[in-house]
Structure 1
Amino acid sequence: MYENKKAWLVIVMIALVTAGCSLAPKYTRPKAPIPSSWASGPACQEEGAERQCLAPQRLEWREFYKDPMLKQVIEMALANNRDLRISALNVERARALYGVQRAELLPSVTGSGSASKQRIPADVMGFPQALTIERYDVNLGISAWEIDFFGRIRSLKDKALEEFLASEEARKSAQIVLVSEVARAYLTLAADREMLSIAKATLKNQEKTYELILRQYEVGMASKLDMCQAKTQVDAARKDVARYTQVVALDKNALDLLAGRTVPEPLLPKGLSNVRSPEKIFADLSSEVLLNRPDIVAAEHRLKAAYAYIGAARAAFFPRISLTTSLGTATDELSNLFGSGTEAWNFAPQISIPIFDARTWAAYRVSKTERDIALAQYEKAIQTAFKEVADALAVQTAIKHQIEAQESLVKAVSETFTLASKRYLKGIDSYLNVLDAQRSLFAAQQELIMLRLAKLANRVKLYAVLGGGGE
């Protein structure tokens, strides 16, 4: 028994001594290949005396989005969207794979029991009479446990851990994309519904104007040309109503897909002017804030996994030591299976020394190349994120001035249309000027709605590209 305890003690000591060994290169975070601050040109300057600097990654989406109905639709999407569900399941799979790889560090202990009974006839094996041989065994043992002297298994475990952490960040990134896409689809639906309302109002006004001109034509107070021109405007307005009815239906289908179920009518926006604007974001922070964006954190975890894989590839050049051992009892009588003097043990270490294997060198070169690829992907992710934020900042200020100019244009064109209509009714001007003013007003109103949509959508995008909405 003393020898058995000594053997087990040796095993435990070896495991403890080799627990921290690894041949993976030391990881150092690469320097971010972007400027330390955002662009400061005219397109990126924000006017106003008071500016509140908000860290989007610390601002929950429930605080950023102010519209209560939009919040309910986002909650619905987070609960039912299938893409997000797949991302969550990928995290669970990565966690399970990490558990499998981590378990390789520990010995697999198995218990076994066996019984055999054999009869040997007389004169076989030199015995004059028949023999009956019985054997009973109970064993507890370890089979082919690799003692991780050089950190091969530990490096693979670290690689699996980093891949699991990357999958978790990928899930957060998927949630950010989903939240922003739901908000964008919701705002687009609101804008198109407002477009439809304007088209219907324009059609109604055109029909009234056509009826008036038709009566004037019947009594000889308007020309046939005016009547035909008014009729063409009615038909054009009907076409716009039909077109926006189709667009609204498609927008609704897109929103339902993102939400994972049919969004109830009470939660749908009536128009863009009825939607509460999201919180305004200023990027008065260092560009290093991007390093905490989930997709960039995921890329860094994949880079760390590549470093760990190099450690496993390096360890393949060194000997592998495995151990098979067991402790138990053996006897020829079942009643004496656990009696005194029945102890049995087995201790069989094995070492495998690589002499020459070209595949090992190739695998090592592959691991270093994969590290370089992961590094390039990490740097590209940072550069892409910086561009996305810079673009959103450039739009944020420029769109404000465009909306101010467009609002002034709509007001001027509306007054022009009113004056042209009055002049026509008094017989001072031709109906052609009324048509031009009407078309200009409708186009200006459409452009104003699209600019307001672009403003809100860009605010949503800025929040997302700065990493907001992942929690």
Structure 2
Amino acid sequence: MNSYMNKWATLGLILLLSACKSISISTDKPLKEMPPDFEAYADTTNIANLSWREYFGDTTLVRLIEQAITDNPDLSIAQQRIEMARADVTFTKGMLLPVVDAAGFAGQARTAEFSVNWAGNEGGQFLSGDPLRPAYTDYFIGLQSSWEADVWGKLKNRKKAALSRFYASSEGRNWVVSNLVADMALTYYELLSLDENLEIIRETILLQENALEVVRAQKEAGKANKLAVEQFETQLLSLKGLEKETLQEITVVEYRLNLLMGHYPKAIQRNSFAFEDSVALSVLPGVSSQLLVNRPDIRQAELDLMATKADVKAARAAFYPSLGITAGFGYNAFQPQFLFRSPESIAYNVFGNITAPLFNRSAIKAEFNFNKANQVEAFYNYQKTLLEAYSEVSLEIRNIRNLQERYELKSSEVDVLTSSIDTSSDLFSTGRASYLEVLITQQNALQSSLELIDVREQLYYSKVKLYKALGGGWR
């Protein structure tokens, strides 16, 4: 007996050693550390901790964003990814538990009389006294169960991977919300900027029309020639063309806003006073370590990395012997009237089995190597996400600083050129300035005003981009 047991123990050890050969899972790589702060900002006060309603403040923009969060198609798709991941978690949890099925069958068979299975049964009879025949019927109804003992943690690690991916899908939805809020704000400010451009253009058109009337009057009086009138008319036509172009751009931006909100094209309400002349931005980025908590894409990349690590462990466990248990219990009889007799028709079985891959393990090795490579890819993706996040914040901080300086200079330039329009008009009326000087002054003033609006728009863009880069917008 002991000799018999020793043989089985030796066989089991051989199976285990052969299964465990050459399956190292060491794939960890050093992570590049982020600098501790942004541009010498060491204060932990962080604008990302503000809700987007509080950060933007404009009630019109807030209402539009609320509509987008409710109806945006991409956000609805992200929600369904969460539901799929949730279902996968439920599936992997179920794999850890025994499977119990209700089963039943009825059939007829005939055993060949010259077969080994029939030999020796001639003249036999059932417990009921019925004779045994080569042709017989058989009926069963009961329960059947199977269960794989998770000795090496294969199923447990699959559950961990599914759970990590579920949390990653939730973070993915948060990142979609953050991007949606930022896109809505950026597009809204673009629309306000175009409104400002249109207003400036129309004011310039009025000035040009008045100037054209003056030139025509001077031509009638012999103080100006036809060329001057044509130059003013050409400039007026150019401005009206620019007005139409701006109106088309407004239509396109309104279309994009409607698309983000999941609506068909319609006019967008906006608060023109939100695009005020003075733009003062508070740059409160906090410290770089807060990105790990505030940015959903970083947390998503981290959870994806955790999932791939669990996948590797589960793939490694496939090399080890697996232990399974199957069992059945029910009623079995050759005639329906005997099926539910107890204890004569009661049947049950319990079997235990152990299997281990020995030869032709290429499929298992391929899956293991695939998961190892997938883990390394997830690591690099996590490193890349950290690098991009820090770089985005650092870039926007510098951008805001430069834009604020540009805005101050451009504002002074606009003030000077706006004043020069009145000066050139007065001089032209008294004959001390040419019509070309008036045209050039108006063109320069218009161009400078449009550039000022563009710088102001870029400042608002940086305000939104910095907020998103720091991880704001999803709360």
| TM class by smaller structure | 0.7 to 0.9
Q: Which position in structure 2 is the counterpart of 1:5? A: none
The 8 Å contact of residues 103 and 142 in structure 2, kept in 1 or not, is answered as: yes
Pair 223,39 (structure 1): closer, same or farther in 2 beyond 3 Å: same
Q: Residue 428 of structure 2 is aligned with which of 424, 432, 446?
A: 424
Q: Which position in structure 1 is the counterpart of 2:145? A: 142
3-state SS of 2:354 partner: strand
1:354 partner amino acid: P
Pair 278,415 (structure 1): closer, same or farther in 2 beyond 3 Å: closer
Q: Which position in structure 1 is the counterpart of 2:458? A: 454
How far 1:65 moved relative to its partner?
1.5
Pair 215,32 (structure 1): closer, same or farther in 2 beyond 3 Å: same
The 8 Å contact of residues 74 and 179 in structure 1, kept in 2 or not, is answered as: yes
The 8 Å contact of residues 36 and 286 in structure 1, kept in 2 or not, is answered as: yes
How far 1:274 moved relative to its partner?
5.9
2:356 partner amino acid: I
How far 1:135 moved relative to its partner?
5.3
Pair 262,330 (structure 1): closer, same or farther in 2 beyond 3 Å: closer
The 8 Å contact of residues 278 and 456 in structure 1, kept in 2 or not, is answered as: no
Q: Residue 270 of structure 2 is aligned with which of 268, 271, 274?
A: 268
Q: Residue 87 of structure 1 is aligned with which of 49, 56, 78?
A: 78
Counterparts of 1:307-322 in structure 2, within 5 Å, are 307-322=309-324
Aligned mates of 1:191, 1:52 — CA distance in 2: 33
Q: Which position in structure 2 is the counterpart of 1:15? A: none
Q: Residue 54 of structure 1 is aligned with which of 43, 46, 51?
A: 46
1:313 partner amino acid: A
Pair 94,26 (structure 1): closer, same or farther in 2 beyond 3 Å: farther
Q: Residue 352 of structure 1 is aligned with which of 350, 355, 361?
A: 355
Aligned mates of 1:130, 1:330 — CA distance in 2: 16
Q: Percent identity?
A: 29
3-state SS of 2:473 partner: coil
1:79 partner amino acid: T
* 2:444 corresponds to 1:440: yes
Q: Residue 248 of structure 1 is aligned with which of 247, 250, 256?
A: 250
Q: Which position in structure 2 is the counterpart of 1:398? A: 402
Q: Which position in structure 2 is the counterpart of 1:337? A: 340
How far 1:146 moved relative to its partner?
1.9
Aligned mates of 1:396, 1:138 — CA distance in 2: 76
The 8 Å contact of residues 190 and 271 in structure 1, kept in 2 or not, is answered as: no
The 8 Å contact of residues 332 and 339 in structure 2, kept in 1 or not, is answered as: no
Aligned mates of 2:106, 2:77 — CA distance in 1: 50
Pair 30,264 (structure 1): closer, same or farther in 2 beyond 3 Å: farther
Q: Which position in structure 2 is the counterpart of 1:38? A: 38
How far 1:138 moved relative to its partner?
3.0
Q: Which position in structure 2 is the counterpart of 1:189? A: 191
Counterparts of 1:211-226 in structure 2, within 5 Å, are 211-226=213-228
Q: Which position in structure 2 is the counterpart of 1:76? A: 67
Q: Which position in structure 1 is the counterpart of 2:412? A: 408
Aligned mates of 1:272, 1:209 — CA distance in 2: 32
The 8 Å contact of residues 279 and 456 in structure 2, kept in 1 or not, is answered as: no
Structure 1 residues 104-131: Cα deviation after superposition (integer angstroms, max 9, x where no partner): 11111111234568999xxx98569897
Counterparts of 1:272-283 in structure 2, within 5 Å, are 273=275, 280-283=282-285
How far 1:161 moved relative to its partner?
1.5
How far 1:409 moved relative to its partner?
0.5
The 8 Å contact of residues 24 and 307 in structure 1, kept in 2 or not, is answered as: no
3-state SS of 2:275 partner: helix
Aligned mates of 1:398, 1:387 — CA distance in 2: 17
2:306 partner amino acid: K
Structure 1 residues 161-202: Cα deviation after superposition (integer angstroms, max 9, x where no partner): 212211111111011000100110011011001101111111
Size of the alignment, in residue pairs?
435
3-state SS of 2:416 partner: helix
* 2:305 corresponds to 1:303: yes
Pair 430,317 (structure 1): closer, same or farther in 2 beyond 3 Å: same
Aligned mates of 2:307, 2:192 — CA distance in 1: 44
3-state SS of 2:152 partner: coil
* 2:94 corresponds to 1:103: yes
Q: Which position in structure 2 is the counterpart of 1:171? A: 173
More divergent stretch after superposition (127-136 vs 187-196): 127-136
How far 1:216 moved relative to its partner?
1.7
How far 1:32 moved relative to its partner?
5.0
How far 1:334 moved relative to its partner?
3.9
The 8 Å contact of residues 53 and 281 in structure 1, kept in 2 or not, is answered as: no
2:51 partner amino acid: E
3-state SS of 1:154 partner: helix
Structure 1 residues 330-363: Cα deviation after superposition (integer angstroms, max 9, x where no partner): 3556477163454321112222111132333333
The 8 Å contact of residues 81 and 169 in structure 2, kept in 1 or not, is answered as: yes
TM-score (norm 1): 0.84
Q: Which position in structure 1 is the counterpart of 2:467? A: 463
2:292 partner amino acid: L
2:46 partner amino acid: L
Aligned mates of 1:223, 1:295 — CA distance in 2: 66
How far 1:432 moved relative to its partner?
1.3
1:212 partner amino acid: V
How far 1:429 moved relative to its partner?
1.5
Q: Residue 378 of structure 2 is aligned with which of 361, 369, 374?
A: 374
Aligned mates of 2:326, 2:280 — CA distance in 1: 64
More divergent stretch after superposition (439-448 vs 330-339): 330-339
Question: Any stretches of 5+ residues in structure 1 without a counterpart?
Answer: 1-22, 46-50
3-state SS of 2:151 partner: coil
Pair 100,275 (structure 1): closer, same or farther in 2 beyond 3 Å: farther
Structure 1 residues 142-163: Cα deviation after superposition (integer angstroms, max 9, x where no partner): 13x3221111122222112212
The 8 Å contact of residues 321 and 352 in structure 1, kept in 2 or not, is answered as: yes
The 8 Å contact of residues 254 and 267 in structure 2, kept in 1 or not, is answered as: no
How far 1:303 moved relative to its partner?
0.7
Structure 1 residues 274-311: Cα deviation after superposition (integer angstroms, max 9, x where no partner): 6998984411x220111121001111111111111110
The 8 Å contact of residues 102 and 143 in structure 2, kept in 1 or not, is answered as: yes
